[in-house]
């Protein structure tokens, strides 16, 4: 992996991957050990925020309430398997009726059968601080070539770019 991506290119690829894929693994960092869980992200590019639906009585909401939120990570792999990313930020419960209406769709409704007026339903917001992103457009032929070349030359394969982003 090389670091040839500009910040703008890396951010554009990352945001497009989030918008196209939506689903990743979300979890808090520190505190009670818990596994990350699959969640659907709704990105607001202009504010650098991700929004997620959940219930108020989940471990996730209990972990982030109080003290202004909690450090969290959201990881995803794009549908085309070209973008791999891990995003860090602060996660907090933030009920917002306007956003709940804006992002509500048939897929969300399937997970929350009592609808958006369910008193248990809420949103959590992740304010992005940073991200690491890996982009590989190698495809299977280039992948095989790079692996064979690396084994012959004892050099690391060149399968794409890597970037660190601060928001």
What are the structural domains, with CATH classification, of the chain?
Answer: 7-166 (2.30.110.10)
Confidence band for 137, pLDDT divided at 50, 70 and 90: confident
What pLDDT was estimated at residue 69? 81
- Under a CB-based contact definition with an 8 Å cutoff, are residues 26 and 86 in contact? no
What pLDDT was estimated at residue 33? 80
What pLDDT was estimated at residue 141? 75
Q: What is the DSSP string of 51-98?
A: EEEEETTSHHHHHHTTTT-EEEEEEEE-TTS-EEEEEEEEEEE---HH
pLDDT tens-digit profile of 6-65? 889 999 999 999 999 999 999 999 877 889 999 999 999 999 999 999 999 999 999 888
Confidence band for 140, pLDDT divided at 50, 70 and 90: confident
State the chain's mean pLDDT as an integer: 91
Mean pLDDT of 132-137: 89
Model-level pTM?
0.87
**Three-state secondary-structure class, residue 66:** coil
């Amino acid at each position: 992996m090389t670091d040839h991506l500009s910040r703008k290119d890396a951010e554009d690829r990352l945001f497009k991957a989030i918008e196209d894929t939506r689903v990743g693994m979300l979890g808090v960092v520190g505190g009670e050990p818990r596994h990350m869980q699959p969640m659907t992200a709704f990105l607001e590019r202009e504010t650098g925020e991700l929004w997620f639906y959940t219930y108020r009585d989940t471990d996730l909401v209990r972990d982030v309430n109080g003290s202004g939120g909690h450090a969290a990570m959201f990881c995803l792999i794009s549908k085309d398997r070209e973008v791999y990313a891990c995003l860090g930020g602060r996660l907090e419960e933030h009920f917002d009726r306007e956003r709940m209406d804006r992002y509500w769709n048939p897929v969300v409704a399937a997970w929350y059968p009592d609808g958006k007026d369910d008193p248990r339903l809420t949103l959590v917001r992740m304010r992005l601080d940073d991200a690491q992103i890996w982009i590989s457009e190698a495809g299977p032929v280039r992948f095989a070539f790079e692996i064979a070349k690396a084994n012959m030359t004892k050099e690391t394969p060149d399968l794409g770019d890597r970037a660190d982003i601060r928001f």
